[in-house]
Amino acid sequence: MTRHRWIHRLLRSFLTMLPLTALLLLGAPPAANSAPTEIFTRHVQGLTLSARNYTQDGCINSSEFLLADRTEVIYVSSSVNTCTGERTEITGSAVPTVFKVTSRLGSAHIVATIPLSDASTGASAGELTIDETFTATRPADRVYNGHSHFLLPGIAVVVDNFSGTTRQGVLTGTIDFDFAVLANVTDMSVSVFHF
């Protein structure tokens, strides 16, 4: 799986609500180095679990993303120095050894051993064994024909159309994530990357 598909699958899970037309009119600003643009489309149907951590310390923005379904678990850890433009990213994916979801999206359990690599060099970055438990903290939300987008200036724009059931909660275990969503959805998304 390419780096772009990993990023796309993770970003699409953390979208904010805005009309599709506004995103298409505004778009993302071009990257400072006018890097090439790549466009990806994706259709998803079924159970997914997504989680993220985000911290900001001065010029350093750090994030961790986890996206899982019955066939794959994807992990991305990234750090961006907004003062210098320096970026580091560690990525990996694996087939889950456990992916169990209870009825009504009340809880889930995911286990996987993920080989990691440096996204810019391809060099091995070790291995991460995750054993995560999702616990719902809010009632399930049913979404009909939802539209959303995610904008990471100069890097990516993700436009998402979806319907289904989502449930917010916490994801704890090997890594404690500050935001998690368990969903059973039909989703179509378009991602535009400026690399």
User: How many C-beta neighbours within 10 Å does residue 56 have?
Assistant: 11
pLDDT per residue over 27-52, tens digit each? Answer: 333 334 444 677 877 777 899 999 98
Using 50, 70 and 90 to split pLDDT, how confident is the model at 192?
confident
Integer angstrom CA distances of residue 11 from 58, 104, 123, 126: 23, 24, 23, 23
pLDDT of residue 125: 96
pLDDT tens-digit profile of 87-124? Answer: 888 999 999 999 999 989 999 999 999 999 998 899 99
Residue 118 neighbours by CB under 8 Å, 6+ apart: 88, 89, 90, 124, 125
Longest dimension (CA), the chain: 48
- pLDDT tens-place string over residues 148-177: 777 777 677 888 888 899 999 999 999 999
**Domain boundaries along the sequence of the chain:** 3-194
Query: Do β-strands 73-81 and 60-68 pair in parallel, antiparallel, or remain unpaired?
Result: antiparallel
* pLDDT for the residue 162: 82
> Could you tell me which residue, 106 or 8, shows the higher pLDDT?
106
pTM of the model: 0.70
What's the pLDDT tens digit per position in 127-153? 999 999 999 999 999 887 888 777 777
| CB 135 within 8 Å of CB 98 | no
Buried b (16+ CB within 10 A) or exposed e, 129-154: ebebebebeeeeeeeeebbbbbbeee
